[in-house]
Amino acid sequence: MATLAGVSVGTASKALSGNGRMRPETRQRVLDAVQALDFRPNPQAQSLHTGRSWTVGLMTTDGIGRFSTPVLLGAEDALGAGKISVLLCDTRGDQIREQHHLGNLMDRRVDGIIVTGRRTDPRPPLTGVREIPVVYALSPSTDPADTSVVSDERHGCQLAVDYLLGSGRTRIAHVTGPAHHAAASDRARFTTSLLQQASLELSTGRVHFGDWSEAWGRRAADAVLRAAPDTDAIFCGNDQIARGVTDTLRERGVPVPEQVAVVGYDNWDTMTLAARPPLTTIDVDLVEIGRIAALRLLEAIDTNPSPGLHQVPCRLVVRESA
């Protein structure tokens, strides 16, 4: 290949790796020779030469992939441009399994690791990773010196509350998941604060904590209607709850959104599009979280880390429920 391009082996190597200074026409001759010969560099040889494996580990506790799959897709979008492969490891929330996968990734000499999960609760940092860069996506590290990429929960709640207020709703209830989950407690806190800033309070006088299920949404909707029949909007902590809320409202003859608007959270298509009517919701942009996490990891691999918390804005997706 170097002979066909009329350059030395060293120059050809620099042209392929993108390193070193050379005239554009020299680099193009090498690339033309590569195409003509259908040349493929040996990844093992490249790894020995550069000290990099061109692989990144992605560790998740999200066995069903509801949250980790979009994060993985976003990460691959960013890493694929650099021809870096991703090794996916499912820890299933088990510490022993996590250490097992971590050992395997280190044995494979991965260039870095992205850690993600199904919840937004902070998690302890990985132990024993030595000099391997680590970025936490969606589930931040408890160590502020680590790099974490998360959804901007306050921004998501602001989008929902502003939209409801802008459409004339003033009697807003909030139904969400378990109080001990960061996602539920944060969204409840931000929603209450935002309503207070508008000189309003929750229509029922309290947050309705429960679990992340349609069944809870159905029960909670009945509780809201009993406690505050004049409620004109229900902002839900996730889309499963919101779908259950719309089920109960429909069964009780309460038109949505004419009498009561419903807004969900997460933009999970399985729920939002199957609900009747389809749900207006907040998209936490998991793909973008994965993409940003991968970019931060690439920076750290290149010895230019960005420690601290990086927040990704949410998006309002308007459908027929509000």
pLDDT per position as a tens digit, 163-192: 999 999 999 999 999 999 999 999 999 999
Instruction: Assess whether pLDDT exceeds 50 at residue 278.
Output: yes
Distance CA 135, CA 292 (A): 10
More confident residue, 219 or 54: 219
pLDDT per position as a tens digit, 92-150: 888 889 899 888 998 889 999 999 988 899 999 998 887 899 999 999 999 999 999 99
Instruction: Assess whether pLDDT exceeds 90 at residue 296.
Output: yes
User: What integer pLDDT is reported at residue 240 of this predicted model?
Assistant: 98
Average pLDDT estimate for 25-44: 66
User: Phi/psi of residue 316, each to 5°?
Assistant: -90, 125
Confidence band, pLDDT 50/70/90 cuts, at residue 51: low
Instruction: Assess whether pLDDT exceeds 60 at residue 41.
Output: no
User: What integer pLDDT is reported at residue 16 of this predicted model?
Assistant: 58
Provide the percentage of residues in the chain whose pLDDT is more than 90: 65
Average pLDDT estimate for 234-238: 98
User: Phi/psi of residue 276, each to 5°?
Assistant: -120, 105
Q: Residue 149 forms beta bridges with which residues?
A: 137, 310
Assessment of whether the complete model's pTM goes beyond 0.85: no
- DSSP code string of 290-313: HHHHHHHHHHHHTT----EEEEE-
Alpha carbon distances (Å) from 138 to 36, 116, 154, 285, 295: 44, 6, 14, 10, 15
Kind and range of the H or E run holding 29? helix 24-37
Distance CA 69, CA 238 (A): 18
* Token pair in block for residue 176: 């969400």
Say if residues 284 and 267 touch (Cβ distance below 8 Å): yes
> Which amino acid does the sequence have at 191?
T
Confidence band, pLDDT 50/70/90 cuts, at residue 18: low
Say if residues 105 and 90 touch (Cβ distance below 8 Å): no
**Residue in the block written with tokens 């580990």:** 57
Of 157, 167, 145, nearest to 266 (Cα)? 157
Alpha carbon distances (Å) from 308 to 59, 141, 183: 20, 9, 19
Distance CA 235, CA 173 (A): 6
